[in-house]
Amino acid sequence: MNSNYGYMSLCYHYIRPKKNLDPFPRLLGIKIDEFKEHISMIQKNFKMISLQQAEDFSHNKITLGEKLGMLITFDDGLSDHFTAAKILEKEGIKGVFFIPSCISIDNLPANPIIIHYALEIFGIARFIEQYEKSLKKFNIEKNTVKLTYISEKNDPWKIIDKIKSVFKYEFSNNDSRKILLDIYENMIFKKNPKFMETAHLTDTQIQEMIEMGHSIGYHTHSHISVAASSLNSDEFTKEMISSKKMLEKKFNIKISSFSYPYGEKKDCLSTQKLLKNTNEYKLAFTVEPKINDFSTSPFELGRYEPYSNDTTSKLKKTLMEIIKR
Distance CA 287, CA 314 (A): 18
CA distance 36 to 39: 5
Residue 14 has pLDDT above 50, yes or no: yes
Look at 119 and 4; give whichever has higher pLDDT: 119
| Dist. CA 215–CA 212, nearest whole Å | 9
Q: What percent of the chain has pLDDT over 90?
A: 87
Domains of the chain: 3-107+202-324 (3.20.20.370), 111-195 (no CATH)
Per-residue pLDDT tens for 214-259?
A: 999 999 999 999 998 888 999 999 999 999 999 999 999 999 999 9
Categorize the per-residue pLDDT at 153 as very low, low, confident or very high, splitting at 50, 70 and 90: confident
The bridge status of strand 6-12 relative to strand 292-293 is antiparallel
HSE-up (13 A, CA, CB side) for residue 169: 9
The pLDDT value given to residue 27: 94
pLDDT at 3: 43
Q: Does residue 154 sit in helix, strand or coil?
A: coil
Among 51, 54, 315, 7, residue whose Cα is nearest residue 209 = 51
Q: Tell me: the pLDDT tens digits for 73-116?
A: 999 999 999 999 999 999 999 999 999 999 999 999 999 999 99
pLDDT of 19: 87
Q: What is the dihedral of CA 63, 291, 29, 100, to 10 degrees?
A: 70
H helices of the chain, where?
A: 32-45, 51-60, 80-90, 102-105, 111-137, 156-165, 173-183, 190-191, 195-199, 203-212, 233-237, 243-251, 271-277, 312-324
